[in-house]
Each structure stands twice: as structure tokens, then as C-alpha cells.
Amino acid sequence: MEVQNRNWGGFTTKAEEARNLSLELTNRLKDPQRVKQIVTAPGNLSILGGHPWDDAALAAGYPGIILLFAEWDRQCPDEGWDLVAHSHLLALQEGLRTGGYYNMSMFCGLAGAAFAVMSASRNGTRYTGFLTELNERIADGVWTALNEIKHTETEGEGVSPTDYDVVMGLTGTGRYLLEIKHSDKAALSLTGILEYLVQLTYPIEVEGYTVPGWYVPQKHQFTEESKRKYPHGSFNCGLSHGIPGPLALMSLALQKGVEVKGQRDAIRRASNWLIEYAEMGEHGLFWPSAVSFEQETVHDGVSEQTRDAWCYGTAGVARSLFLAGKSLQDDSLCQWGIRGFDSIFSRTEEQWNLDGPTFCHGLSGLLQLTVRMAQDVDEERFLGYIERLLHSIMRYYEPESPLGFRDLEIMNGIDKAGLLDGTAGIALLLLSLSSTTEPIWDYPFLIA
């Protein structure tokens, strides 16, 4: 089967309903001060105990909301959405000024802030000074980060996901640089990132075994639970923090004509490894969240199906394999991606194990991934998948809540405004479903 892109639009029969709800949610986010007050209210605490807000973070701050107003402005340029975006941009500038150090990452640092400003710049005609400053800091910061990695990562000891991943690492930064590759300085920094990611796919020696270079030792596991579960380390399989992220960036860069030595072979190595760990369970094809050191070296242990989300599980992995297939013009890789999505929709919603309506670990992420697949594959059954997901998301709408939806990381839900786990991400998804203009807001997720 040949991959054929369809024109954007026509994904749902509920386009008008989706657009109306997106508008209703967007209006709730207009006032930057009010939004921050809601999210930082005394009782609105995340599972980690803090407020789910950071002024300058794309994940949970003004940049994600700016993306929403920028997308409305792209579609309705005469309705004043640019002025609303500007008020949030001023709040972002203040947050950057007073918030201390921000790294170069997409979801927690300067790359995400810059991506939001770029989106609101009306094709680079506005905020040129601000963007130039951010772009300079990011391009220079990449080399600082690469040098730090070089000096802190001892050969044979593996890596930290925060060095390379989509959320906090250089893969996310690279996705922004890919959008500004017309700048010589940005292009050079992007080349540095791609060379690092290619190197990441080379095998290394750990405890006498030859293993993939993206090996994460126990000390770099994110949680105490993971440290107990993986005493000898693991290989992260999530799009958010694992090898599918670098695979997606290398593939997207190749599609856009950016290639470094060894990039095609690196795409092939990462893809083949992911295919090796595809599992056929009782409910179809799936990928685990991680592969243990023991599974990789002595084939001891079994994979557990976790969730079908953007961050971890089959959806993110399948999309990265599909992108790899597109970049290498390898239909067999694309078919792995398609099979992954078909398996997801052979399961029940309960078996997806998703946490409510939001993007990262919820229904919105799975839906936007499915929309991107529907655009690329152009097969009728994907439209059915979209309708099923949209119906599920609509059920979570709470008109009496301050922001319309709640993130369900805790039992009663929590009010979040941002892109990753909040209302802005849901509103952007709904707007895109009702549009005939292909979006750019989902680029940070490395799915397009």
C-alpha cells in the first residue's frame, strides 16, 4: 500500500460541534491573570504536591495558551485573536524575566517558548527582536548542552532521558530548530543534535553485553519505583522519553531534506529494535513502556502492556515507525505503524488505560495521533476511529468547571490550562478537527 496524504479536513461529522466547544474553551483562557489564578488556587495541587503551572513552559504555562490563540489567528486573522495572544505573550516575557534559568527544551524551556512566539508572529513579521534573542540563546545553548553530555556521560554507563528526549532533552529542541533551519546558526545546531542522536543508536558495552546506546542506567530512572523495577537499567520505549522521539526527529528531518552522516542507518537501527520488541497480546499488537536490561541481554522477563497514549505505549511508537517508513520510503515500516493503530482500536476504551481527556496520557493525544495517521493513510476506517475518540472526549466536558475540562491524574480531577495536560491542548485538538487548515501546533509532540 502506498502512503498518500489527503487534504486537511473532513475528519469528522461533528466538525461544527468540535469548533463550538473549542471556541467556548478558548474564551475561558483569554485573561492571562485569571488563568494563572485558577491553576494556582490553593487546593489545585497536582499529584506531586505543587501547582501545575510554570509561566514560561510550553507544557503548563503561557506558551501553550499562546499556541491556541495563534492557531485561531491563523484561521480567523480578522477576529482579534492576535491581540489576545499578545497579552499572554507579555505575561510570558515577564515570566522569562523573573523565572530564573530555563534550559533549551521544548516542553520545559526556551525552545517551547520560542515555538509559541514564532506561531504568533504571523510568518515572522512580528516579535522579530524577541525571537532573534530566543533563537540565539537556543542555538548557543545546544552546544553547551552537547558539551555537558560529552563530559558527564561516561562510555558504557548509558544516558539520561533528559539529555535526548522530546520533553526535556535535545530531540524536542531539535524539532524547533527544524522549523527555523533557514538560519545558518540554527541549522548548525540542528546538525549537532542529529549527529548526537545518530551516535546514540550505536551499540555500547555494559556489564559485558553489547546493548543499544540509549541504555538508561538505574541512577537515571525517573522514579524510585522505576529504580526498583530496573536495578540494572532499561531502554525507554515511550515517544515522550524514549528512543521513538529521536527516531521521529531523524525521520522528520530527513523528510525535510536535513541529513547527517549515518542518519538513515540510525533510523533503521532504532526502527528494527522497536519492531523486535513489538508484542502480540490477547488484545493485539502493543509496545511496552520500557525493556529491561535483562530482557535485552539474556531475554529474561516479559513485557507489560501499559497504555495506548502519546507519551507511552503503542500509539506513540507506531507513529514514529510510520514516520521512519515515510522518510526511508519503506512501506513495511509504515505497515507496522498502521498495524499498531488498528490494534489499538480493536481494544476497548478501558484497555487503552488512558487518564481522561488531555493530551499527554489521555484521549486527546491518541486522537491527534490518529488524525495525523488518517491524513497520511487516507483509509476510511481511520475516520471511524476518530469519531469514536471524539465521542469519548466530549463525555468529559464539565461546563461548570473553571476551564471546561479537568486532568484526571487524581480522583476528582485538577484544573490545568496548558498544552500537555490541560485545556489548551484539548481546545487545539478540537479546533484542528473542524479546520481545513493543516495545524502546526502539534509539531512539538514529534508526530508531524
- Binding-site positions: 311, 360-361
Residue 68 · residue 26 · CB < 8 Å: yes
3-state secondary structure of 327: helix
3-state secondary structure of 284: strand
CA–CA distance, 22 with 167 (Å, rounded to integer):
25
3-state secondary structure of 279: strand
- Cα 184 to the chain's mean position, in Å? 26
Q: What separation, in Å, do the N-terminal and C-terminal C-alpha atoms of the chain show?
A: 21
Strands 284-286 and 209-211: unpaired
Which amino acid, residue 9?
G
**Farthest-apart Cα atoms in the chain, separation:** 64
CA–CA distance, 41 with 44 (Å, rounded to integer):
5
Q: Which residues sit in the known binding site for Zn(2+)?
A: 311, 360-361
The values of phi and psi at residue 108, to 5°, are -125, 0
Q: Which of 101, 25, 119, 21 is nearest to 63 (CA)?
A: 119
127 — alpha (psi -120 to 50), left (phi > 0) or beta?
A: left
CA–CA distance, 416 with 424 (Å, rounded to integer):
9
Alpha-carbon distance values, 298 to 208, 211, 279 (Å): 12, 11, 17
Residue 92 · residue 36 · CB < 8 Å: no
CA–CA distance, 235 with 289 (Å, rounded to integer):
9
CA–CA distance, 446 with 448 (Å, rounded to integer):
6
Which amino acid, residue 57?
A
CA–CA distance, 161 with 433 (Å, rounded to integer):
32
3-state secondary structure of 126: coil
